């Protein structure tokens, strides 16, 4: 069941980058908004890893743009190839498939789906996706054990097949670690429970650690008591404050922010050609509206499944560095709709609402355009990543 739920959730990232995103969020958005209404569940819609910004960590950038993208696409593609092999063998009446990847591990299909799920998490790292990913890993383990018990009934010779290769990885490293840590326990049922609990705890702690590591490697600066500045591209704090200062010197921006004088604000410094502006505010991206289906959107979707088909995806999404910036001023509130204290801007339950946008040229010091956007992102009132 966990695997099925995860399969449904994974369509958030697939559909979001397709031409049908508007329709998907019309149905899926209410679920996320419902979760965000209560402090008990709002943390589930928060984010663990960077999605909207570049970090100063080579590890995090590799995890998202290289390892994660290829894991997501190639994991899915390999899974479908293995499915053809499995069903082809059944047509010929074979009980056990032992060729190809099945020469090295017993459940390569589950491994491929797990690798793809890991890639999905790095691409759209909501907490709920991470928890479902962890649950799915254990669900596949139990499902594999059930299938193997059935195989032993159908073919007793399968026991030798099990002894000769690992369940998910060549050489069975998981089995070796289990024997090292829990092999001495007489009650093997208790040993398995302890092993499962330990691995679950390790994975959950890894998720918490990754978020803390992320927050330590984004370009951020506090330029006022109730205002945090975040830059998409790594930028020195004094440069960030200079860019924001140019916007604040404009009377239109000053007037708009005066109406939010009791709010806690976050200011995102985006490249002017930032491709994911819809996450922060609805600025009339007509090419994404219902009915506007462009071939480029399908090309981008194909690039996520097969990353080597779209080598420019990073620039298309994140824009390019330069002197032209788009500053998005957003208020940050808790599930009760009240401003969060400044020290809690990055809480998992915190949610942004756009209040004003200013286009700034940091070289000339000119504010070329200001926009008062609707109080929502392009996707509506759904929580979007702060970093």
**What is the pLDDT confidence band of residue 302, given thresholds at 50, 70 and 90?**
low
Residue 6 token pair: 């995860």
Question: Looking up tokens 């995103």, which residue turns up?
Answer: 21
Q: Is the pLDDT of residue 170 over 80?
A: yes
How far apart are the C-alpha atoms of 127 and 68, rounded to whole Å?
16
> What is residue 4's predicted lDDT score, i.e. its pLDDT?
55
Q: Which of 67-71, 80-84, 99-103, 377-381 ranks highest by mean pLDDT?
A: 67-71
94 or 111, greater pLDDT: 111
Mean pLDDT, residues 326-354: 94
How far apart are the C-alpha atoms of 238 and 14, rounded to whole Å?
38
> What is residue 153's predicted lDDT score, i.e. its pLDDT?
85
DSSP per residue, 266-304 = EEEEEETT-TTGGGT-----GGGSTT---HHHHHHHHHH
* Nearest C-alpha neighbor of 138 from the set 114, 164, 154: 114
Q: Is the pLDDT of residue 254 over 60?
A: yes
How far apart are the C-alpha atoms of 285 and 265, rounded to whole Å?
24
> What is residue 293's predicted lDDT score, i.e. its pLDDT?
46
How far apart are the C-alpha atoms of 320 and 350, rounded to whole Å?
28
Q: What is the dihedral of CA 302, 306, 309, 312, to 10 degrees?
A: 90
> What is residue 231's predicted lDDT score, i.e. its pLDDT?
97
**pTM over 0.85, yes/no:** no
Give percent of the chain above pLDDT 90.
Answer: 41
Residue 216 token pair: 């330590």
> What is residue 96's predicted lDDT score, i.e. its pLDDT?
67
Mean pLDDT, residues 184-188: 85
**What are the angstrom distances between the C-alpha of 301 and each of 15, 250, 307, 379?**
9, 40, 9, 18
> What is residue 374's predicted lDDT score, i.e. its pLDDT?
94
How far apart are the C-alpha atoms of 385 and 232, rounded to whole Å?
12
> What is residue 18's predicted lDDT score, i.e. its pLDDT?
45
Q: Is 285 left (phi over 0), alpha (psi -120 to 50) or beta?
A: beta
Q: Which of 176-180, 210-214, 295-299, 339-343 ranks highest by mean pLDDT?
A: 210-214
Picking from 34-48, 74-88, 116-130, which range would have the lowest pLDDT averaged per residue?
74-88
Which helix or strand (DSSP H or E) is residue 221 part of? Answer: strand 219-224
Which helix or strand (DSSP H or E) is residue 244 part of? Answer: helix 237-248
Q: Helix, strand, or coil here: 231?
A: strand
How far apart are the C-alpha atoms of 362 and 321, rounded to whole Å?
12
Integer-rounded Cα radius of gyration of the chain: 24
Q: Is the pLDDT of residue 272 over 60?
A: yes
In the chain, the domains with their CATH numbers are 57-215 (1.20.120), 219-371 (no CATH)
* Nearest C-alpha neighbor of 53 from the set 240, 241, 223: 240
Number of H helices and E strands in the chain, helices first, is 15, 6
Q: Is the pLDDT of residue 85 over 60?
A: yes
**What is the pLDDT confidence band of residue 290, given thresholds at 50, 70 and 90?**
very low
* Nearest C-alpha neighbor of 345 from the set 204, 209, 239, 222: 222
Task: Check if the beta carbon of residue 19 is closer than 8 Å to that of residue 293.
Answer: yes
Q: Express each pLDDT in 10-45 by its tens digit.
A: 554 444 444 444 444 555 677 788 888 888 899 999
Task: Check if the beta carbon of residue 109 is closer than 8 Å to that of residue 75.
Answer: no
Question: Looking up tokens 């009339």, which residue turns up?
Answer: 284
Mean pLDDT, residues 124-139: 87
CB contact set of 172 (below 8 Å; sequence gap of 6+) = 165, 166
**What is the pLDDT confidence band of residue 198, given thresholds at 50, 70 and 90?**
very high
Mean pLDDT of all residues belonging to the chain: 84
**What is the pLDDT confidence band of residue 201, given thresholds at 50, 70 and 90?**
very high
Give percent of the chain above pLDDT 70.
Answer: 83
CB contact set of 152 (below 8 Å; sequence gap of 6+) = 158, 159
> What is residue 76's predicted lDDT score, i.e. its pLDDT?
85
Task: Check if the beta carbon of residue 367 is closer than 8 Å to that of residue 253.
Answer: yes
């Amino acid at each position: 069941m966990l695997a099925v739920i995860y399969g449904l959730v994974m369509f958030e990232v697939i559909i979001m980058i397709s031409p049908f995103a508007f329709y998907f969020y019309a149905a899926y958005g209410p679920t996320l908004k419902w979760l965000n209404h209560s402090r008990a569940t709002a943390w589930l819609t928060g984010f663990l890893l960077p999605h909207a910004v570049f970090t100063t960590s080579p590890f995090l950038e590799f995890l998202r743009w290289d390892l994660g993208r290829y894991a997501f696409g190639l994991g899915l593609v390999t899974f479908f190839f293995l499915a053809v092999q499995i069903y082809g063998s059944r047509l010929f009446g074979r009980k056990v498939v032992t060729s190809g990847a099945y020469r090295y591990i017993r459940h390569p299909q589950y491994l491929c789906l797990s690798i793809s799920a890991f890639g999905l998490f790095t691409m759209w790292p909501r907490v709920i996706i991470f928890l479902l990913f962890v649950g799915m890993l254990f669900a596949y383990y139990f499902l594999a054990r059930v299938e193997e018990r059935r195989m032993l009934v159908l073919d007793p010779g399968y026991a030798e097949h099990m002894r000769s290769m690992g369940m998910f990885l060549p050489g069975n490293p998981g089995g070796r670690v289990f024997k090292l840590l829990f092999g001495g326990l007489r009650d093997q049922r208790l040993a398995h429970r302890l092993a499962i609990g330990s691995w679950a705890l390790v994975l959950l702690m890894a998720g918490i650690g990754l978020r803390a590591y992320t927050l330590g490697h984004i370009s951020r600066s506090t330029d006022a008591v109730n205002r945090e500045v975040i830059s998409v591209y790594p930028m020195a704090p004094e440069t960030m404050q200079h860019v924001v200062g140019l916007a604040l010197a404009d009377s239109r921006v000053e007037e708009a922010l005066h109406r939010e004088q009791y709010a806690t604000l976050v200011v995102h410094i985006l490249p002017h050609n930032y491709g994911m502006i819809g996450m922060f505010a609805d600025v009339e991206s007509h090419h994404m509206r219902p009915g506007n289906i462009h071939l480029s959107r399908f090309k981008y979707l194909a690039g996520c499944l097969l990353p080597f088909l779209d080598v420019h995806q990073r620039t298309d999404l994140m824009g390019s560095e330069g002197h032209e910036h788009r500053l998005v001023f957003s208020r940050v509130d808790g599930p009760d709709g009240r401003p969060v204290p400044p020290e809690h801007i990055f809480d998992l339950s915190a949610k942004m609402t756009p209040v004003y946008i200013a286009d700034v040229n940091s070289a000339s010091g000119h504010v070329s355009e200001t926009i008062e956007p609707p109080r929502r992102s392009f996707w509506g009132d759904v929580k979007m990543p702060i970093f």
